[in-house]
Structure 1
Amino acid sequence: MLETERLILRPLCGADFDDYAAMLADSEVAGGLAEPVGRTPEDAWRSLATFIGHHEIRGFSHWAVIEKETGRFAGRAGPWSPLGFPGLGVGWCLAREHWGKGYATEAGRAAIAYCFSALDAEEVVSLILPRNGRSIAVAERLGHRHLRDEEYRGRSVHVYGQRRPAAND
């Protein structure tokens, strides 16, 4: 578990399902994800199980993003590297009622720091749909730069990322 100023970042679990499914049922939320996901409860179940399973296989995964002040589930964020992903990724997905609060940037910063310190990464990347201006803005606030464009799981995506800071930075 990690804590930031306003958030608790803890492993996703089955108890998150109702909030997770409600988040993905929102077409604007699900439609902005580079990792294709459907909007039904069954799709949400598979997605949540994938993140929980990723933690079992890789030892890390997206975390549940919990507001410290209220204890409410706000979304998911964290490191990500499934088979076929173009590097060690950092991603975020927030329920729409939590947009505009800076949570994606706050959780993203914690995830990047985790990748460089705990996972000893040399580079982290984020895949973002070209039409997702909100996530592009978050990536840029995190210090990511546009690296290239590529196809991922049938979608054209921007690959944003950053390298590990030099020891003297």
Structure 2
Amino acid sequence: METERLIMRPLTGSDFDAYAAMLADPDVAGGLAESVGTSPADAWRSLATFIGHREIRGYSHWALVEKSSGSFVGRAGPWQPHGFPGLGVGWCLARDHWGKGYATEAAGAALNYCFTELGAEQVISVILPGNTRSISVAERIGHRHLRDLDYGGRRVHLYGSDRRPS
């Protein structure tokens, strides 16, 4: 899948070095609703989880690659692991790529994919309170705050969008 500035392709083992470097940043890892550490072993488990999710569900987060440079930007895509409160879209970008609009571009494409390809009636995003950057992305893709809930031992915001009438 492609957007104006990004190639969105399946995550693979060859993404590990860039993925681990992204998650080694405590500000990146600390902003995620799922608790992820910053060690290479933590990054390995996280990457394996997304690849395994694709095998189990048939969809998962994609690697985001900047078209202009070929650089790994981060990950984004549909997501519904066991115990998750619904079909979701999520995003995580390396700090060097914050503020460029890539999260909104990728999350918007992922949201559209959930509605058009997966037939979703509602798509959610789980966001930590205080993560104003992700809250802004959620609002820019049309999500609204639905409620707060406990997820993974943390209190989180649940944002979401309903299928738009055709």
Q: TM-score, normalised by structure 1?
A: 0.98
- Equivalent positions of 1:1-169 (< 5 A) are 2-167=1-166
Secondary structure (helix, strand or coil) at the match of 1:97 reads helix
Counterpart CA distance in 1 for 2:150 and 2:18 is 30
Return the letter of the residue paired with 2:108: R
Query: 1:166 deviation in Å?
Result: 1.2
Secondary structure (helix, strand or coil) at the match of 1:159 reads strand
Counterpart CA distance in 2 for 1:166 and 1:147 is 19
Secondary structure (helix, strand or coil) at the match of 1:3 reads coil
Percent identical residues: 72
Query: 1:5 deviation in Å?
Result: 0.3
Structure 1 stretches (4+) deviating beyond 4 angstroms?
none
What are the superposed Cα offsets for residues 22-70 of structure 1, whole Å, 9 maximum, x if unpaired? 0000000000000111110000000000000000000000000000000
Return the letter of the residue paired with 1:10: R
Kindly tell me the number of residue pairs found equivalent between the two proteins. Answer: 166
Query: 1:108 deviation in Å?
Result: 0.5
Return the letter of the residue paired with 1:128: I
What are the superposed Cα offsets for residues 136-157 of structure 1, whole Å, 9 maximum, x if unpaired? 0000001000000000000110
Return 5+ residue gaps in structure 1 as ranges: none
Counterpart CA distance in 1 for 2:22 and 2:98 is 12
Superposed CA RMSD: 0.4
